[in-house]
Amino acid sequence: MEPFDKVFVIVYRIIDNSLEFLALKPNPEPGRNTDDYVITGGVEDYDISFEAAALREVAEEIGVVSNDIISLDYTINYTDHITHEKHAEHCFGVKVDDSKIVLNFEHIDYKWLDKNDFINTIWWDYDKTILEKMIDTIEIRETVN
């Protein structure tokens, strides 16, 4: 069975020369995680790339349009504990400006956090060092520019 492609997006912004990361509170669904999380979503047939899917998901879920994306050079492979489907989540960082966040039906709240609070707050089913490496990629990119 081929895995279903998805995207995993860490949304971030720079405020007063500090990086902040977006943690979303999902709308509760039976059997699903209700802890703070990042944007995830499916890749649609009309998406021309994984990057395009990530940018579309950001626009759909938080109402912010951005074209500032970086690959975090990581793919999360897992089996859904409810459907038992295999998934491959392609990981990206998307930088947004200070636009107003407008949540869609999938989320009930959000908060901007610094790196340490973000890593300690969001739900992560894998080794947090992987998440830290992805955030390091964002930090390196932002210190170079």
Domains located in the chain, CATH noted: 4-144 (3.90.79.10)
What per-residue confidence (pLDDT) applies to 3? 66
Task: Report CA-CA distances (Å) from 54 to 12, 60, 67.
Answer: 13, 10, 10
Backbone angles phi, psi at 133, to 5 degrees: -65, -40
Residues 143 and 103 sit within 8 Å (Cβ to Cβ):
no
pLDDT tens-place values along the chain, 145 residues long: 466 899 999 999 999 989 999 999 998 876 666 788 898 888 988 999 999 999 999 999 999 999 999 999 999 898 887 788 898 999 999 999 988 999 999 899 999 999 999 999 988 777 788 888 999 999 999 985 5
**What is the pTM (predicted TM-score) of this model?**
0.90
Number of other CB atoms surrounding residue 28 within 10 Å = 9
Give the other-Cβ count within 10 Å of 129's Cβ.
9
